Amino acid sequence: MDLNLLRRFARWAHKIAVAQRQLADELAEELRRAEGAQDPLGQYIVQARHRYLRVSETDKSKSGKRIDYELERSYVEAMNLGFKGSFGLWMSLMRMGKAPEELAQDELTVSPIEEPRR
C-alpha cells in the first residue's frame, strides 16, 4: 500500500470514530430524556387496574354491572390517551395478576360485552 492511501484510510477511520462518539453521546442524551419523561397512558393503566380490582372486590352482585361499567369507562379513557388495543386486550390487562380462582369467578360474573363505540 502506498503512504497516501494509508493516510486517507486513517482520516476516514478518525472521521468514523468521531461520528460514533457523537452518535453515542446523542443516544445517551435521548435515553436520559426518555427516562425522565412521563407516560400518561402507562400511569393511567396502573390507576385503572387499581380501580378495576377495587370494584371487582366490592361488586357482589350477580350481574357484575359495576365491573362492566368500570371496564367500559376505563377502556374509552385509555383509547383517548392512545391505547390501540381491543377491548378484549384491555380486559386481560385489567385482570392480569389475578389468581386462577378469581379469574374463574370473574368469568361467571362478567358478561361478555361488545366493544364500546367511540
DSSP string covering 54-67 = HHHHH---SS-HHH
Which of these, 42, 34, 35, lies nearest to 83 by C-alpha position?
Answer: 42
Along the 118 residues of the chain, how does pLDDT read in single tens digits?
799 999 999 999 999 999 999 999 999 999 988 887 788 888 899 999 999 988 888 877 778 888 888 899 999 999 999 999 899 899 888 888 655 566 566 555 555 555 555 5
Which of these, 35, 76, 69, lies nearest to 52 by C-alpha position?
Answer: 69
